């Protein structure tokens, strides 16, 4: 195979950008995707100043037509797709669930779940038809895919659903050499986790500062998952700050 190609959603900042960097180092050509055009282009210039191996594409992954257009652009540019990383995600305000609006709920579902499904559909279509056949899909589940934080119902519900999407994709992709796995991340240092340095609400009602880890570790883990041959798969992997309150009862 002459080139390896990847799409990473939510790649303008944080974990997504760290994943794109790691894949670039591993020899991939990477399409980085986000809603804000200027942010995606700035990230592309940062991680690939030459502009030859990173392709910035602005798209709202909650929009079916936008997703179809995104995958058409990548296929037209590089001819194939070897890896999709469904990383994009948003949260809702940390308020009691009965106070959330329908718009807030729908925005989280559209980004975290519907967008991942739309991207998975388009990736499978390309991976089934290309030669050599197959590819890999890696979903960002977050440790919220198993354990919630207080006041996180929309985010937690969508991340639990991602676990189901991962398993269904792994099963349905089997006959076509399409592998699917999930990485569950605990407290990578990003803009989203900055508040942990000053304290966040815990399940017992207290507020506590939580440790974080460099997002580079997440990028490296995804690059490892992507390095496997298609007859091997990491179905689930958890990468977390060792001393964060997750294992056990806090």
Catalytic residue numbers read: 155
Q: CA-to-CA distance for 247 and 13, rounded, in angstroms?
A: 28
Q: CA-to-CA distance for 8 and 183, rounded, in angstroms?
A: 14
Residue 9, burial from CB neighbour count under 10 angstroms (0-12, 13-18, 19+): buried
Question: For residue 178, what is the enclosing H or E element?
Answer: strand 178-186
Question: For residue 6, what is the enclosing H or E element?
Answer: strand 4-9
Question: What is the Cα 72 distance to its own chain's centre?
Answer: 20
Q: CA-to-CA distance for 22 and 135, rounded, in angstroms?
A: 18
**CB neighbour list of residue 218: distance below 8 Å, 6 or more residues apart:** 15, 18, 19, 183, 185, 188, 239
What radius of gyration, in Å, describes the C-alpha atoms of the chain? 18
User: In 3-state terms, what secondary structure has residue 84?
Assistant: strand
- The residue to which tokens 């058409």 are assigned: 72
| Token couple for 39 | 């942010």
User: In 3-state terms, what secondary structure has residue 8?
Assistant: strand
């Amino acid at each position: 195979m002459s080139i390896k190609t990847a799409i990473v959603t939510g790649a303008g900042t944080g974990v997504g950008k760290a994943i794109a960097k790691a894949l670039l180092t591993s020899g991939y050509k990477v399409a980085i995707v986000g809603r804000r055009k200027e942010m995606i282009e700035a990230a592309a210039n940062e991680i690939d100043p030459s502009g030859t191996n990173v392709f910035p594409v602005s798209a709202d992954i909650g929009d079916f037509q936008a997703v179809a257009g995104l995958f058409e652009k990548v296929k037209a540019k590089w001819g194939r797709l070897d890896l999709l990383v469904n990383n994009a995600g948003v949260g809702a305000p940390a308020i009691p669930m009965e106070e959330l609006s329908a718009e807030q709920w729908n925005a989280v579902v559209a980004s975290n779940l519907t967008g991942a499904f739309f991207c998975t559909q388009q990736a499978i279509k390309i991976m089934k038809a290309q030669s050599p056949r197959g590819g890999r899909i890696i979903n960002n589940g977050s440790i919220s895919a198993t354990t919630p934080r207080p006041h996180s119902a929309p985010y937690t519900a969508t991340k639990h659903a991602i676990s189901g999407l991962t398993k269904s994709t792994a099963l349905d992709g089997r006959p076509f050499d399409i592998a699917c796995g999930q990485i569950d991340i605990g407290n990578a240092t990003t803009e989203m986790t900055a508040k942990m340095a000053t304290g966040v609400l815990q399940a017992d009602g207290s507020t506590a500062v939580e440790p974080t880890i460099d997002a580079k570790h997440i990028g490296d883990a995804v690059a490892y998952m992507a390095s496997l041959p298609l007859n091997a798969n990491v179905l689930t992997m958890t990468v977390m700050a060792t001393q964060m309150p997750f294992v056990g009862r806090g």
